[in-house]
Amino acid sequence: MSDKGYACVGLDKPKNFLNVGAALRACGCYGAASLAISGGRIKRLSRIPTDTDKQWRHAPLYRCADLKDMIPFNCVPVAVDIVDGAIPLSEYEHPVRAFYIFGGEDATLGDRVLSRCDLRSHGLLHEPCRDSECSAV
């Protein structure tokens, strides 16, 4: 990714607040500009033990009803999901400005989210693994 670009992360209806904390920590490790969380399943965002770096103090953490409202202007929404036909993350050419969308731990993103991502030019990504992985990894 270019030095002038940025990446944001969206968690679509995450199930477990501990995974949100781990996602916050990962955002700090990888330099994400912000993290947005959709849906109402996560009630607690303060003092999450897995957010060991207290990343919420260094980058914005947003709550929203729908992640589409959080995608910045001229930023490419990129779906990250474990489904057939997805491009391995290691083979993907990342856009300069990207909004990476991860599904909840118990569901795929589905057509509601995938229809907003230009899968032909910007891809549907997955990280190859032997078993299911939570969105926080």
Residue 137 has pLDDT above 70, yes or no: no
* 25-84 confidence digits (pLDDT tens): 889 988 999 999 988 777 766 778 787 788 878 888 899 999 999 999 999 999 888 777
In a domain, 137, yes or no: no
Spatial strand order of the sheet with 124-126 comes to: 61-64, 34-38, 6-12, 97-103, 76-80, 124-126, 87-88
CATH number of the domain at 87, please: 3.40.1280.10
Examine residue 135 and state whether it is found in any structural domain, yes or no.
no
**What is the tens place of the pLDDT at every residue in 74-107?**
999 998 887 777 777 778 888 899 999 998 888 7
Locate 129 and state its tokens: 């693994």
In this structure, is residue 36 part of a structural domain? yes
